[in-house]
Amino acid sequence: MQQLLSELQAADVGAILTNEPLSAHTTWKIGGPADLLITVQNRDQLVRLMRLLHAHQVPWHVLGRGSNVLVSDKGIRGAVIKLGGELADARFEEGLIHAGGGYSFIKLSVLAGKQGLTGLEFAGGIPGSTGGAVYMNAGAHGSDVSRVLKEAEVVLEGGEVVVWTPEDLKFRYRHSVLQERRGIVMKAVFALDPGDRKEIAGAMATYKDRRLRTQPLQLPCAGSTFRNPEGHHAAKLIEAAGLKGMRVGGAEVSTLHANFIINTGTATAQDVLALIDRIRTCVRDQFGVELTPEVLLMGERD
């Protein structure tokens, strides 16, 4: 590891932290240490980093804004990559929005609305990064990334840079090809339509009010825990099973929204995993429906 660290520092791949607790970098406030946490500032740094990690056969993960992930209590071996600098910025150009993979997806929707561009209103309640939204084909309120994305610039494991269209990304519900072919979204370009600023602001205000009333956003959580099974809503199934308020250790099924698991202050990744298993078992036994976690599990398993 010391040899790799020396090479990474010599190659100027960004800011490097060793044995960094990831609980400080996730919205669940859960997660053990990463061997290396590397924050890159631009495209060239990221390409150099990917080539070096590939040459040394070092495992890697990308961490956006820390939502939608559960990091193991044992942490993550290898490198965890965060996008900063120009990879966490955005600009507008003739109806197109160019957003770095590390840019806040919520902030992107707000800025689009202020520019009088419609199409990203659904993103106003989706925490996390733009790159993560592309990876998951994030969506809400009847829309998703696949409907507004024009193209994405992606660096693959070996350092190769490709530009993929929505067809290349093979979008479907909460899925993209990036879940099979590993890469990092460096930039996403969205094609939006002109709209009325007041109407856009009104729609986003309505969505925000609904979120504040129905989601436990003031507590550490990761967003929706499970995907909606075909023909069902995960939250309704969990609530109907009588599981609101169920706890394992410091992890609790929210009493406000049943598809959210909150960290009451002392939750570990093991607590959350055990609670997820209990929820899946109860829903399966009562309704014959299999719930699939939407959160991504990262790191060493116990």
DSSP symbols for 155-187:
EETTS-EEEE-HHHHT-BTTB-GGGTS-EEEEE
Q: Is 146 among the residues known to form the active site?
A: no
Q: Is 224 among the residues known to form the active site?
A: yes
Exposed, middle or buried: residue 141 (CB in 10 Å: 0-12, 13-18, 19+)?
Answer: middle
Return d(Cα 194, Cα 141) in angstroms, integer: 19
Return d(Cα 209, Cα 120) in angstroms, integer: 17
Which of 48, 77, 147, 174 does the annotation list as catalytic?
174
Which of 72, 104, 224, 254 does the annotation list as catalytic?
224
Q: Which helix (H) or strand (E) holds 286?
A: helix 269-287
- What are residue 174's phi and psi, to 5 degrees? 50, 40
Q: Is 294 among the residues known to form the active site?
A: yes
- Annotated catalytic residues are 174, 224, 294
